[in-house]
Chain A
Amino acid sequence: MLSLLWLVPAIPFASALALAVVRFPRRVVAWIAVCSIAASSIVSLIVAFSFLHTPPAGNAYTQVLWTWLNVGGFHPEIALYLDPLSLIMMVVVAFVSFLIHLYSTEFMIGDDGYARFFAYMNLFVASMLTLLLANNLLLLYLGWESVGLCSYLLIGFWYRDPENGRAGRKAFIVTRVGDTAMVIGLFLLFHDLGTLNIQELMQRASQHWAVGSGVAAAAAFLLLGGAVGKSAQLPLQTWLPDAMAGPTPVSALIHAATMVTAGVYLIARTHVLYSLAPSAQFAVAVVGAATLLIAGFSALTQWDLKRVLAYSTISQIGYMFLALGVGAWPAAIFHFMTHAFFKALLFLAGGIVIKALDDEHNIFRMGGLRTQLPVAFWTFLIAGCSLAGLPLITAGAFSKDWIVWGAGSAANGSMGLWAVALAGILLTSLYTFRMIFLVFFGEEHSQVVKKPGMAMIIPCVVLAFLSIVGGYMRGPFGRFLELALPWNASAAGGGHVSEMATETAAGLVFLLGLMLAYVLFLRKKPSTALLTATAVGGALHRFWFSDWAMDWFYDRLFVRPVVWIANIDKGDFVDGIYIGIGSLNEITWRVLRRTESGKLRWYAAGITIGSIVFVAVVLFL
């Protein structure tokens, strides 16, 4: 049954093609789009069960479809590689995609570009699955760029507003900075090791390079560049909040659950390389720790519901990077899974709220929606608790406590990273409950105009269920993933903190954040206004609201100099050549225009002279 693997990315691709080429009525479009993803996830489940039932030799299965190209010893294949890591990612991506597609059939119903939307979405799912299942880095890069393309197309989906197009271009260009680093890393790896097949690459890397060698570190840092761009981590995180210009299901699928975790997957996939380059691995941890704090502070100040969620996504991916950096590989993938569930749910439930209030994004104009939108309230509450890490019950708590514990006691962990991770929990809890209190509690500010239908409710309920029970899978999940990713906390580093102490501390910090949020945002005292009224508070608020002034900084550092140079260089000689060709054509036209006199006899004379010249040329030359 494992040989069905190729169908998993092929079905969504085929339906994307069909939706792009043929014009179907809306109902048919929805059926094709949802059924293709459903078929894809059913096939992925069949493959997963047969993988678990009869594990293939070496706990990995490779399906070679054909040789892509064969030039001078470079012969990348179109081949799929299935091991516990890609299996888990594949199943989660396919299943979450299915739920979000189902939700979109109702969410997008009134939109003009219904078929276009689902064609892009299906193409995205196909690309994402290609990325996950690729057995060589070139095919992975193909998927990597395709998901970037789909992200661009879907951010700018409502293209009539130039602001959306700008957000799409920003996402494309900023991630391209990281992709360039990544492609240079691929060149370096191929040049030194002579292959791009991931498994061979990891084998040869550990044979050829010593731990801490310069080439290994360079390659690892370059791949990290790609991961940082795609996953919106510290230097390149500015595109993700703007990417919220796209439709809400897009934000849920691409910019929360799946695509932005591609960087996490890339680093986990090439973890041998990072083990050979401790400096690069430490950089991953530092990037993650810094990002989770910075994005947490930014999330505290936003008024747009989707932007709060965007910063929270950046912050949670920071947790995954932290886990990768300290060497707690399975924890990162486990957090990817729970995050895919609860963050997708937050966006979907948030989408219900936004739709219900006629496209209202400002959380200060919401309020008291608890009774009017009970489904959205309960699912949002469950997902929010999971995000903030309500101990013992929710999935997010299990995965995040694992990361915090790993930050303290894994191979490269330290008490500093442990403290940062705990501080992150405080911030997460604070901004999550700020959001919940402002949106669903307090007094009502606006009228509900649209109630969600079944296609929007069912995915939310299923995801809410998964956001809770997902956490209890931690034991078997960890054991299964250990077949692909190393995890030995007890042996490494001696363990600075015990797991029990970490979980207790995380629980207490969660409660602290909850109470702080209650005092600041729910009790009718103008405490937040007092805080922002002071000079320091106001400045900090503005600073955090603008995402630590990163956009301003990049604007001054990169955008303006480039625009300035472009302005200076407007009339350079390259332009001169093309303008010259243009004016030459114009002069010739002016001369030749005279011959069109409209006089019959001139034409006859022209024919005569032409024939004489022609005959003369033939006879005498």
Chain B
Amino acid sequence: MTGVPMSYGLILGGILFVLGLAGLLMRRNLLFILISIEIMLNGAGVAFVAAGSRWMQPDGQIMFLFILAAAAGEVSVGLALLLRFYRQQQTLDADAASEMRN
């Protein structure tokens, strides 16, 4: 099965990961930070799937399922925290939560 070369998949995964990281570092809105983390997770997942298809092994796809599960859990907890945060601070600005400095 000669499909897409592995390098394509890895490049796509790398681009997704860097995009997510850039969003994580630049965005101040907590909701977008959460979305960025999701993008980073998916970038890593793409890399796993690409590697799995290169060596003809199911491991890559199994790892992607694990990542999906972890991401689902992370999102549910993250959203709950986000709601509590909004209740308390009346904003979603991550920099507003800098009370524990120094």
Could you tell me which A residues sit within 8 Å of B by CB distance?
A: 593, 596-601, 604-605, 608
Contacts and interface: CB of A to CB of B under 8 A. Distances in A.
Interface in B55-102: 94-95, 97-102
Given A593-B102, A597-B101, A608 B25 contact: yes
B39 interface: no
A604 B101 contact: no
Contact of A598 (B25, B26, B28, B100): B100
Nearest to A594: B102
B102 A600 contact: no
A598 B94 contact: no
Contacts of B94: 599-601
B24 A596 contact: no
B102 A596 contact: yes
B21 interface: yes
A598 B21 contact: no
Interface in B23-42: 24-26, 28, 33
| Secondary structure dominating the interface of A | helix
Interface of B: 21, 24-26, 28, 33, 94-95, 97-102
A598 to B, nearest CB: 3
A601 B99 contact: no
B25 A601 contact: yes
Contacts, number: 33
A604 B25 contact: yes
A599 B95 CA distance: 5
B24 A598 contact: no
6 contacts: A593-B102, A596-B102, A597-B98, A598-B99, A598-B102, A600-B97
A596 B100 CA distance: 8
A608 B25 CA distance: 10
Contacts of B102: 593, 596-598
Closest 7 interchain pairs by CB? A598-B101, A598-B98, A600-B94, A598-B100, A597-B101, A599-B98, A596-B102
Contacts of A599: 94-95, 98, 101
Given A597-B102, A600-B95, A601-B95, 19 more contacts: A596-B100, A596-B101, A597-B98, A598-B99, A598-B100, A599-B94, A599-B95, A599-B98, A599-B101, A600-B33, A600-B94, A600-B97, A600-B98, A601-B24, A601-B25, A601-B28, A601-B94, A604-B25, A608-B21
B28 to A, nearest CB: 8
Nearest to B30: A600
Nearest to B36: A604
Contacts of A598: 97-102
Contacts of B97: 598, 600
A608 B23 CA distance: 13
A598 B100 CA distance: 5
Contacts of B95: 599-601
Contacts of A600: 33, 94-95, 97-98
Contacts of A604: 24-25
A599 B26 CA distance: 12
A599 B33 CA distance: 13
A235 B72 CA distance: 86
Nearest to B21: A608
A600 B97 CA distance: 8
A608 B26 CA distance: 13
Nearest to A608: B21
B81 to A, nearest CB: 12
A201 B102 CA distance: 69
Contacts of B101: 596-599
